[in-house]
């Protein structure tokens, strides 16, 4: 059976293969211990350094660290002046946070269908969903594949809309228009435990506007004019004012300590995931599963998720049956995602129903994400492939 020599290494004996185990090495552990010993745990010098280094990596003018991508999306929408009566066009093929943050502003998420090959929001469908109430377009770089940034920038410019990118999957992603993080009014990244760069929980907002960045920092910490490092740090005590009713969305130095080490290892981890991705392509070539489409020319795919389509008319198994069969053989998988309009909450609140977004529905019904992370060993990869071959034998 096919194997990639790039994955060969000395491995422990296979056991249960988790879907996306984070790649945590001694450096991350040592830096967390050093942070604990420093006596400064919350937002402080490590967060400031993480913001600077992340902005440099992306090429953004400003980067604002927060405690989740969800917080980043919420703040970006608020910073754009979006509120009650407004509409935001987005994809139904995403995690619920993308739509929920729109709802939290008082606005309405308006879904448009996805491209069946890239699984990203279709610019033409998004354009058709624009109304006089539309204030922003919010696409998601699904699985790490860049959306058609040029088309969305043209759309938002034509209608004078805010352009916000959900880059939860896309920390390394590059499009011919530029590095993700520099191509929108606001870009929001996730550092959740399963992400390519993790801080356990955490996120980052990038923007070209220093004024918006300052607003984001203030709003992320209760609306205080000075954070704790400025109030209690080495420069001495300083008074503060509450200038808005803000939120508790700040990142801690404990998280930033992990993030700094992860950022330094990002290219190494990306190369590992690319090797696993290519090994999957090779090993699954003769199995009745629809593999992810190749990356488009001139782009960098962050390879966050390896999503296959499990169509029973092609392979004889439903997605649920295959997922359970893999679990029984010690393989963890995940589903990205059940389309949001198929969840009762959104369907009932906005009058949505099956049949409205057929491409998103087909993917939602058939997609299955196989184990993929920089921590996946060669033995674990072999265990996944052996399990699939046994199932389809």
Cα 249 to chain centroid distance, Å, stands at 18
Catalytic annotation, residues: 195
d(CA 188, CA 170): 9
What average pLDDT does the structure give for the chain? 95
What confidence tier does 1 reach under pLDDT thresholds 50, 70, 90? very low
Q: Has residue 11 got a pLDDT over 70?
A: no
Q: Has residue 211 got a pLDDT over 60?
A: yes
Query: At a CB cut-off of 8 Å and minimum separation 6, what does 89 contact?
Result: 110, 111, 112, 126, 129, 130, 134, 136, 137, 138
What confidence tier does 13 reach under pLDDT thresholds 50, 70, 90? very low
What confidence tier does 237 reach under pLDDT thresholds 50, 70, 90? confident
Q: Has residue 10 got a pLDDT over 60?
A: no
DSSP of 330-379: TB--B-S---GGGSHHHHHHHT--TTSSHHHHHHHHHEEEEP--TT--HH
Cα→Cα distances 87→102, 157, 183, 370, Å: 8, 16, 22, 35
Q: Output the pLDDT for position 7.
A: 61
What confidence tier does 278 reach under pLDDT thresholds 50, 70, 90? very high
What pLDDT, in 10s, does the model give residues 138-197? 999 999 999 999 999 999 999 999 999 999 999 999 999 999 999 999 999 999 999 999
Q: Has residue 351 got a pLDDT over 70?
A: yes
Percent of residues, the chain, with pLDDT higher than 90: 92
Q: Closest Cα to residue 304, out of 386, 194, 177? A: 194
Domains and CATH numbers, the chain: 5-23+267-392 (3.90.1150.10), 26-264 (3.40.640.10)
> 3-state class of 307 per DSSP?
strand
Q: Output the pLDDT for position 14.
A: 56
Mean pLDDT of 91-118: 98
Q: Output the pLDDT for position 238.
A: 74
The owner of tokens 């066009």 is: 89
What pLDDT, in 10s, does the model give residues 283-297? 999 999 999 999 999
Mean pLDDT of 271-277: 98
Percent of residues, the chain, with pLDDT higher than 70: 94
10 Å CB burial of residue 3 (0-12, 13-18, 19+) is middle
What pLDDT, in 10s, does the model give residues 34-82? 999 999 999 999 999 999 999 999 999 999 999 999 999 999 999 999 9
> 3-state class of 276 per DSSP?
helix
Beta strands in the chain (DSSP E): 62-66, 87-90, 108-111, 134-138, 162-166, 174-175, 178-179, 186-190, 203-207, 306-309, 367-370
Q: Output the pLDDT for position 195.
A: 98
d(CA 121, CA 102): 17
What confidence tier does 316 reach under pLDDT thresholds 50, 70, 90? very high
What confidence tier does 389 reach under pLDDT thresholds 50, 70, 90? very high
């Amino acid at each position: 059976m096919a194997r990639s020599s790039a994955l060969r290494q000395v491995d422990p004996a296979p056991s249960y293969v988790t879907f996306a185990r984070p790649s945590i090495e001694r450096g991350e552990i040592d830096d967390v211990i050093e942070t604990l010993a420093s006596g400064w745990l919350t937002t402080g010098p490590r967060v400031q350094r993480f913001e600077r280094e992340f902005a440099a990596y992306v090429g953004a003018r400003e980067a604002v660290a927060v405690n989740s991508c969800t917080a980043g999306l919420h703040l970006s929408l608020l910073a754009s002046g979006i509120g009650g009566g407004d509409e935001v066009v987005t994809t139904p093929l995403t995690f619920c946070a993308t739509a929920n943050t729109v709802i939290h502003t008082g606005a309405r998420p308006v879904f448009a269908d996805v491209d069946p090959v890239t699984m990203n929001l279709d610019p033409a469908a998004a354009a058709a969903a624009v109304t006089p109430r539309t204030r922003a377009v919010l696409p998601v770089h699904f699985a790490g594949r860049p959306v058609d940034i040029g088309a969305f920038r043209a759309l938002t410019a034509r209608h004078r809309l805010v352009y916000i990118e959900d880059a939860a999957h896309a920390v390394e992603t590059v499009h011919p228009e530029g590095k993700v993080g520099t191509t929108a009014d606001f870009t929001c990244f996730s550092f959740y435990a399963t992400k390519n760069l993790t801080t356990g929980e955490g996120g980052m907002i990038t923007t070209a506007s220093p004024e918006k960045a300052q607003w984001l920092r203030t709003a992320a910490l209760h609306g205080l004019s000075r954070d704790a490092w400025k109030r209690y740090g080495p420069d001495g005590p300083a008074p503060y004012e509450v200038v808005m009713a803000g939120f508790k969305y700040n990142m801690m130095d404990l998280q930033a300590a992990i993030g700094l080490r992860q950022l330094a290892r990002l290219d190494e981890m990306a190369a590992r995931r690319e090797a696993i991705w290519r090994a999957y392509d090779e090993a699954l070539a003769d199995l009745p599963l629809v593999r992810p489409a190749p990356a488009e020319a001139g782009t960098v795919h962050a390879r966050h998720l390896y999503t296959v389509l499990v169509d029973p008319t092609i392979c004889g198994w439903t997605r649920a049956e295959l997922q359970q069969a893999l679990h029984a053989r010690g393989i963890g998988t995940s589903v990205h995602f059940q389309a949001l309009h198929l969840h009762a909450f959104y369907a009932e609140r906005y009058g949505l129903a099956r049949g409205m977004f057929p491409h998103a529905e087909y993917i939602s019904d058939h997609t299955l994400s196989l184990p993929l992370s920089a921590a996946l060993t060669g033995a674990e990869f072999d265990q996944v492939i052996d399990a699939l071959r046994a199932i389809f034998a």
